[in-house]
Amino acid sequence: MTIDTLTIKDFRNYAAQAVKFSPGLNVLAGANAQGKTNLLEAAYLCCVGRSPRTAKDKELIRWGREQGRVSVEVQKRDGKTTVEARLSRNENKRIAINSLPISRIGELMGAVNCVFFSPDELKIVKESPTDRRRFLDTDICQMSKTYFYLLNRYNKILTQRNRLLKDGDSGALNSTLPVWDEQLAAAGAGIIVTRRKFIDKLKPLVKREHLFLTGGAEEIDLEYEGIGGAGAGMGASGGAGASMDVAAAKTAFLKALSDNRKRDIKYGFTGEGPHKDDFAVRLSGVDLRAFGSQGQQRTAALSLKLAELEIFAGEIGEYPVLLLDDVLSELDLSRQKQLLDRAQKVQTIMTCTHMDAPPEGAAVWRVEGGTVREWGIES
């Protein structure tokens, strides 16, 4: 799929702008703080319904304005799709697909797919498990509305269970907690199995991309940690490996909840479950989360992002749009070349402060002060 046109009005530092992208490599060049990243943010908003930079939609509206608007016209293998997001300081955002308003954000999932990478995405490797779970969930939700709604249901049940743990008396806990455990395990089992299958598919693709980026110098591996995965004691109770199905995952989860009930009551929150799961990123057996260098972590994160492209292609039959924010400045010349070679097989929209020699066929844009001007096709 490709984004044909991105249109924005009163979004970040843009008054009004329309950009008609090339189906290949698009380079947004300009000094810092001119609005390059804002364009990627606008495209991402139309894909997943939120910004990759802030949870507050009001921050996206241009200063002094009450409303903002973003839309993308997208060419997919089954036809054209238009997604529009309207932002307001006084109301919740409204999203429409092909001019039809949607009532739930889950309806947006899969309308437009993207993979986003910026220097902040190093969090996937070196920061908390929350960042790695978000990485998994963002991808899987774009490919599966079912998973999106299941994740929402799980989080609502988890909130209710935690409220009961914190506020309930002993009588209410003894009679009510098993009911919540059953519901939590039923929803959580599907999440566990889906994530593990995703990691299983991702592993060989990440290895291939990492070998490509490093010239075969290093080999990477992933390992799911949590219920049904190695690296966590819970896995042993339900069996680890790809053979775990939803029923086995539910059984393992229920056992974990039962085993940890006293601790949960003591501390007032649910200490086990897919909301605590993680995955390890290892390089030649070394855990990059704790011991990798900045360069190793950056290359690993980029390998994960490039592998995402192949996951999407395999699952939905076409590549998503690749959004790269200021990535070249973080890579040496060899890896810049490797990345640009990979980027040319999908529509890529990337930002940079300058590019001495854009690849042949790249559409280059100058971004300055909230305006975009086409430089033309490099040849």
Decide: helix, strand or coil at residue 52: coil
Structure tokens at 237: 């109770």
Structure tokens at 230: 């190695």
Q: Which pLDDT score is estimated for 228?
A: 63
DSSP state of 102: P
| SS percent in the chain: helix, strand, coil, step 5 | 50, 25, 30
If residue 304 lies in a helix (H) or strand (E), which one and from where to where?
Answer: helix 294-316
Which pTM was predicted? 0.90
What is the CATH code for 1-113+320-379? Answer: 3.40.50.300
Q: Which pLDDT score is estimated for 119?
A: 84
Q: Which pLDDT score is estimated for 231?
A: 43
Domain 1-113+320-379 matches domain 121-317 at the CATH topology level: no
What is the CATH code for 121-317? Answer: 1.20.1050.90
Angstrom distances, CA of residue 315 to CA of 93, 106, 311: 29, 18, 6
CA distance 343 to 324: 9
Give how far the C-alpha of residue 23 lies from the chain's centroid of Cα atoms, to the nearest Å. Answer: 22
What are the sequence ranges of the domains in the chain? 1-113+320-379, 121-317
Q: List, run by run, the mean pLDDT of 10-residue segments along the chain (379 residues).
A: 97 96 94 95 96 94 96 95 97 96 94 92 90 95 95 97 86 84 97 95 94 84 82 38 80 94 92 95 89 87 93 94 90 82 89 80 91 69
Decide: helix, strand or coil at residue 139: helix
Q: Which pLDDT score is estimated for 138?
A: 94
